[in-house]
Amino acid sequence: MSLRLSEIEALLRAKKAKSAEVKITRALRMTLPAHMQAELLILRARAKLLTSRPEGGLEDISKATQLHAPIVQQPHVQELQADCLFARYELSALGFAERSDWVNAERIYTTLLEANPNYDNAGWVSYQLGRLLLSDNRIEQALAAFHTALLQSSHVIALTSYAFERLAFIASYEQRDFRQALVYLDKSIQTYPLSEDRAWLVQAYFLRGRILRDMHRLQEAVQTAEAALKLTTQRGLPRASLLEALFNAAEIFSRAEHQHERVIAVLEQYLSLSKRPPGVSVSWSRAYEMLADAYFSAGHYERAATSYLAALQYNPYHPWEYALYLRAARAYYQQGLYDQTQRIVQRAIQGAESEGQTIDFRAYDLLGSAYYALNKFPQSVEAFDKALALIPSNDASKPKIVQYRQYATEAQARDNGTTPS
């Protein structure tokens, strides 16, 4: 049995959880002493945690404890139990997470560290405690836990990278200290072992790209995103990680100048590889919004209009619904589709009015231009008048609107056979 356990341990260290479970299942069919069955159940709990099944892991820990009560006193079993509780808390649907899982995980991590200060995986326990505290917005305590993790022993070879990455996250998003965040993140990337999962490193690069973007160092942000995308070409990257990488790259590229063709290429790949959602999807809505902006910048106005409307289709409660309708209307106008322009602008205005939102003068300016192109001169004059009533007196667009209102007035007078006023 000692040989079989060592084989299973090796499989788990290599993150070959399914192979490990097969061996464990076969071993559990044998007639074994209670303490050996308990050890196998603990190993199976580890396998289930590796495959995002913390509920099953907790069940196996409970069964192991019933078979051999002293096993739960072992530090590595306590660590595993807390990790499963924390994972179940993290994986629970929004609004359905059990607070008791969070509380119990914190209690076990804290007690384990206090009772076993020389535990050979104390660094990982401190890191997990830091993540737990960060999820509860206890920033100072989380910082202390991550710094402690850097000084403790651990058999998690990428722990240094993990801890520096979380310190970078806090420095960036909580403290808004972007320079310190870059220092931490560069250490995180530099110390990441070559033997470890590339998917995590891709995420670290994208965090670096977002930090550079927030520092307005957009060219460096683009280069970092390109480096992250290059990592995604390596074999073995999970599909979900690839999709997330493409989406994050598009977010960064969309903020930089002259990157619209790159945005289009990345998002078209993202959408082609994604499974079409059956209903509302904020991610797909955002993807289509970025894609539409890129299409518009590239002069692909038909695709831009379609994509703006798709963004609203996948998120009917979009907070910028009014603005997206106007962008779609401009795309229709650029194609000379003035009926569609008129219809979409009116829909935008009606929606904004029903929500009590302020109407921008540009909406009436665009509406007036569409009416003018349709030879609906009285409506054009009325729309331009509304635009002029809303436009700031020093806005550079005002002379143009005044001029086009005059054109519409003259055209209306010609149609009526009168002198323009």
Q: CA–CA distance from 388 to each of 180, 244, 381, 391, 418 (Å)?
A: 48, 45, 10, 5, 24
d(CA 57, CA 49): 6
Q: What does the pLDDT read at residue 421?
A: 56
In tens digits, the chain (421 residues) has pLDDT values of: 554 788 888 888 888 889 999 999 888 888 889 999 999 999 999 999 999 999 999 999 999 999 999 999 999 999 999 999 999 999 986 656 688 999 999 999 999 999 998 999 999 999 999 999 999 999 999 999 999 999 999 999 999 999 999 999 999 999 999 999 999 999 999 999 988 888 899 999 999 999 999 899 999 999 999 999 988 887 777 888 888 889 999 999 998 888 999 999 999 999 999 999 988 999 999 999 999 999 999 999 999 999 999 999 999 888 889 999 999 999 999 999 999 999 999 999 998 888 888 888 999 999 999 999 999 999 999 999 999 999 998 889 999 999 999 999 999 888 776 655 5
